Every structure is written in C-alpha cells, then in structure tokens.
Chains A and B, each alone.
Chain A
Amino acid sequence: MGKYILKRIIGLVVLLLGITIITFSVIHIAPGKPTDLEAQFNPKVSMEARERISHLYGLDKPLHIQYIAWLKRFARFDFGISFMDSRPVMQKILERIPVTLTIELFSIILILLIGIPIGVSSAVKEGGFYDRFMTVFVFIGFAAPTFWLSLILMDFIGVRWGILPISGIKSLEFEKFGIFEKIIDIAKHLTLPVLVSAFGGLAGISRYMRSSMLHVLKQDYIRTARAKGLTEKEVLYKHALKNALLPVVTIIGLSVPGLIGGSVIFESIFSIPGMGRLFYESVMARDYPVIMGVLVIGAVLTLLGNLLADISYAAVDPRIKLE
C-alpha cells in the first residue's frame, strides 16, 4: 500500500511537469500580451516603454528560458508576482479560496445528501411516477442555464420577496455585527449560490446512483439475499446499496478539483470574489503568473483527487488491492 502510493506520487510529479509545460506554452502562444492592457489602449505609451515593461516581466526572453525560470520558482512554491497589481500570486489565490471552497463544499454535500437518495429511490421505483418525476426534476437543474436560473431566483427570492440578499458575501454593516450575526449574514449571502450550484449538479450524481443501483438490483446476490428471507430494507439498503455506492466513491474523489475551481458564471452574477472570477480576470489581463498558479493548483488537486479515488475505492471494495 505505502509502496503503491509512493509509486503513484512519483508518477504524478512527472505528469504534473508535463501539464505545466503544456499549459505554459499554450498560455504564451495564445494571442494577446500582458503589456496590451497597459500599453495598447494608451497612445501615450511608446514602443520603448512597452519593451521596458516586457523586459521587466522577462517576457522578451525565449519561451523555454521563461519556463525554466518559472519552474525554478515553482519548485520553491513561489508562484511569482501578479502583473496586474504586483502582489504575490499565492496571496491573491489564498484570499479567494475560502469563499469558493465554502460554496463548493456545501454544494457538493448538498448534492450527495439529495442526489444519492433520489438515485436510490428512483431505481427502487424504476419506471413509476416518482422515478419519471425525479428524472425531469434533475434534468431541469442540469439543463437550465446557471445565469438564467440565478437571475430568476434573485428576482423572486431576493427582489420581490426580499427573503435573501442577492449579491456579495457580506452586508454593508458586516463589521458592526457580533460573531453569531456575522455567520448568519454570510450564510444568507451564500444560500442562493449554493442552491444554484447544487441544483445543477444534482442530475449527475443522482442519475449515476440510479443506474448503479439498477445494475446492482439485477445481480444474482440480490436474489440470494431475498431467498435468505431478509427484509426488503436489508436487501435494498444493506446488500444493494453498499455495492451501488462503490462507483460513486470515485466520483467524489474526482470532484475534489472542482472544490476550488469555482464557477465564473455564478460568481460573476452573485458578485462573489472567488477563484472562478480570479481566473477569468487574470485570463482577460493575460496575467501569466496568476493563470499558471490557478491552473497548477487545479492540476495538483485533480491528480490528488484521482489518487484519492483509487485509494478510497480499495478501502471500500474488498476485491481491490493496490499493488
């Protein structure tokens, strides 16, 4: 087990190196330059000034030299300085992570808590009204555009009924609140984004759970469990469910990178200063160090998520041994 994990981690490092080479190249090859924002729209900036900026950022050097310089810093966990505001990339990312992580974490917990029971109960009542109703329900969530759904909810819940705030993560008078009120205030602000995000993700997990459960219910060992005289509850929620949950473990592992990825669309709509918007803004400004920082963290989490999925699969399925 320990040896397996070590081997995998070595493999991951190599893979990560490859990912950074590709992303670094793609970003630099893409049209547009970081200097454009400062230089292009300002006729007063001369050619020399532009080159000076380029030189300052090291952008006049060949790509592979730039990459090696970046890699050297990255090896010391230094992501460099943002072109836009000269603040350390790490610091910019770290201030955005908590809000995105909170939203995504609550959203995935909600998805699992609602999606798994929907999937299981739909499979048990396959083809019935409940099953068909749930199919339509989760696919509405899947198919409805996030921005549209967000706007509708903001209009009704936020504006017409005034139940919840519609943007930002805290109220104006936040600083005056006590600790308890502060928590309530943030919770109120995050409710709509979490709900929108969870509704969209419900289809994936519930349909996956449904088909996994349907597959398991056709297995011979379910007939054996019934032939033993077990109650229907024991048959479904002990014998079937444990088998049906195995593939879902993988999905949970794979959703780890999404926890900090965030979503550009609903972070923009709800004015949430999260990772999604940071990434979007840095791409628009060709802020290479920030783009690379966000992408590398995403890549690391994806790779670790895969490893986590494999390890947890071995932990829950007695037939799988990691070697």
Chain B
Amino acid sequence: MLLQIKDLKVNYAGLEIVRGIDLDVDKGECCGLIGESGCGKTTVGLSITKLIPERKGNILAGEILFEGRDTLKLTSEELRGIRGKKISYVFQEPFSSLNPVFTIYEQIRESLEEKDNPDARIADILKNVGLEKIIGRKNIYPHELSGGMQQRAMIGMAIASRPDLLVLDEPTTALDVTVQRQILELIMELKNKMNLAIIFISHDLRIVFNIADKIAIMYAGSIIECGPKGKIASNPAHPYTIGLIDSIPSLEHRKKLFNAIGGKAPLFSELPQGCKFYPRCRFRIDKCLEKEPELENVSHGHVSRCIRIGDIVRAENRHNLQA
C-alpha cells in the first residue's frame, strides 16, 4: 500500500472538521474523494504532507503512512524531501496557484529534483502536459496563458520530479467544460504513463465516476461510504450517496427514487447527535439518533456508515426492478 491514512483527526479554526478518516491508496490507483464544499476533503489532502497553515489548524490524531513512514511525524526537513518530489499537488485555481511574478520556466525548474540540464527536462515536461507551444519560451509568465494552459503548467510542476502520488484538489472546477475534459484526459494519460497514484478531490460525482478506481464519500468530516467505483455506482449503500447519484442530471428520463438532497450540510459548530446525515435523510428512524454509526461492510471492499444498509439496498433494488 502506497498511502494509508488511519483515523485522521484535524482541527481547523477551532473546530474538528476531519473526524477520523481512514483511506488507503495503492500504487497506480486513482481514489476519488467526494463531498460538498466544507466537508473537510481539502483538509485531508493538505494533511498528507502537513500543509495546513499552522496558525489555522493542527492535526489532532491519526497516522498517515506513506511508503510505510508516518508523514505526520517527519521533521520539516524530511517533509520537504517528500513534498513535490514524491507527493505533488495540483490546486483548484491555476491562476492564483501560480506565482504571478515568476516565469513558467522558473516555476517548473524549481520543482525539478535534478538541477542539471534543466532546459531539456522542462521541455520534456512541457511536451508531456501538452504545452509544446511554450517550449523554449523562457520569459512566458502565468498571466499570458489561458486557464487550461495554466492548469497544464501546474500539472507540469507537479509531475516534474516524477512523484508517486498526486493530490488533485478540484483541478478542473475553475475551468470551462471543454477544457475540463482535456485536463482529465491529460491526467489519465499521465497516470497510466507514470503509474501515478492519485487522490482526486472533487464535489462532482460525474467527473470522479469517469476517472477514479475507488471512491470515498465524505460528509461532515468523516467518510460515510467507500468502495470500488463499480460497486458505488451500481449499489450505493448510504442515503447520501444515493442522493448524490440521483442529483446527477441525466439525459435519460429515469424515474427517480430521490430528488436532489434537501436541506444543507450541517455546520461543524452545531453537528447533530447520532448520524450526521439524519436531518436530511429519507430513511431516518429514531435509532439513528442514538449514536454515530460505524463503517460497516456492505460487501468486500465496500463500506457504509448507515445502520439501515439492508433496507436501503433492498429498496434501491426493488426500485431498479420496477424501472
């Protein structure tokens, strides 16, 4: 296993917004991390190399084993050996994530592990991310590129040192739909070529279904369902997941069991007792309020945090039969 997150708890701005997360990512595997804005998914990504601003948040508990070593226990010197070299990041807004006063060449050069003969390496990277146009043009600044090209440059920086793990935090959210598709294709191509493991953080289930091998769904700071893409798609086992899937606008006129999920995600300052999804859940019963459910096996490699798994799965199957 390349990366194992074990019972990660993170405090951010005085609130525990990651409340015990377990997640494994294998070599060459793409894991989608899904959730509404503010559910803690970005914080999980940043925690992997302790990138949470010290002033704002701190990691309360847990282990993050990367190649067997706990990154949370590493010194800042050791962390720098991992950041950008073995674990790289691509963030949401390419324009604000690139430093406006340094050239693209300079910013990619900084990410290179071997500093000798950088121009040839940079040219190679630019070719790999589809930026052949700016090869040799050393005085190009970020603002001279389009959003899609900026994100390609970010990806170029991220793969410059041939990392093992790529953390992509909403890498396509700020882009046009057509450009989104190109960037996703680029990511898949690089993943296969470089055998990259990927954590793909997104709120868009459609994108994640396209690219992930495994999907973890977060709600209010914890994972409520996790499993292989196929199982999640065909047999969702948490009311929230079902709601998310049914919220995807479909071109086919499928009769829906659920509409879009009503209500709002709870604030971390006023989390409900018991199951955190209770206020918005159509399957809720009084027993849900007693305590927060544990993750339970649905089938091999597929877990869900719902005490009514059995009823839901049956209802969903019956619905499929009727359809």
Residue ranges of A at the interface with B (Cβ–Cβ < 8 Å): 126, 219-221, 223-232, 234, 239, 242-243, 246, 316-319
Contacts and interface: CB of A to CB of B under 8 A. Distances in A.
A220 B84 contact: no
A220 B150 CA distance: 14
A231 B97 contact: no
Contacts of A234: 110
B101 interface: yes
Which one of B76, B80, B143 has the highest number of Cβ atoms from chain A below 10 Å of its Cβ?
Answer: B80
Given A230-B110, A318-B141, A319-B143, A224 B97 contact: yes
B175 to A, nearest CB: 15
Given A126-B55, A228-B84, A230-B110, 5 more contacts: A221-B99, A228-B111, A229-B80, A229-B82, A243-B101
Contacts of B60: none
B200 interface: no
Contacts of B98: 221, 224
Interface residues of B, number: 29
Interface in B186-210: none
Interface of B: 49, 51, 55, 76, 79-85, 88-89, 91, 93, 96-103, 110-111, 141, 143, 154, 157
Nearest to A316: B101
B85 A220 contact: no
B110 A223 contact: no
A234 B111 CA distance: 12
Contacts of B100: 221, 243, 317-319
A38 B98 CA distance: 69
Contacts of A228: 83-84, 88, 110-111, 157
Contacts of A239: 99, 102
22 contacts: A126-B55, A219-B96, A220-B96, A220-B97, A221-B96, A221-B99, A223-B51, A223-B97, A224-B97, A225-B99, A226-B51, A226-B83, A227-B91, A228-B110, A229-B79, A229-B82, A239-B99, A242-B101, A242-B102, A318-B101, A319-B101, A319-B141
A229 B113 CA distance: 10
Contacts of A317: 100-101
B76 A232 contact: yes
Contacts of A221: 96-100
B71 to A, nearest CB: 12
A234 B102 CA distance: 13
Nearest to B111: A228
A184 B83 CA distance: 54
Given A228-B83, A230-B110, A318 B51 contact: no
A220 B91 contact: yes
Contacts of B99: 221, 224-225, 239, 243
A221 B97 CA distance: 4
- Closest 9 A-B residue pairs measured CB to CB? A229-B83, A229-B84, A228-B84, A220-B96, A227-B89, A221-B99, A318-B141, A229-B80, A220-B97
B83 A227 contact: yes
A187 B264 CA distance: 70
Contacts of A230: 80, 84, 110
B55 to A, nearest CB: 8
A316 B91 CA distance: 26
Contact of B143 (A229, A243, A316, A318): A318
A145 to B, nearest CB: 37
B101 A227 contact: no
Contacts of B91: 220, 223-224, 227
Contacts of B81: 229
A263 to B, nearest CB: 35
Contacts of B101: 242-243, 246, 316-319
Nearest to A245: B101
A189 B37 CA distance: 64
Nearest to B80: A229
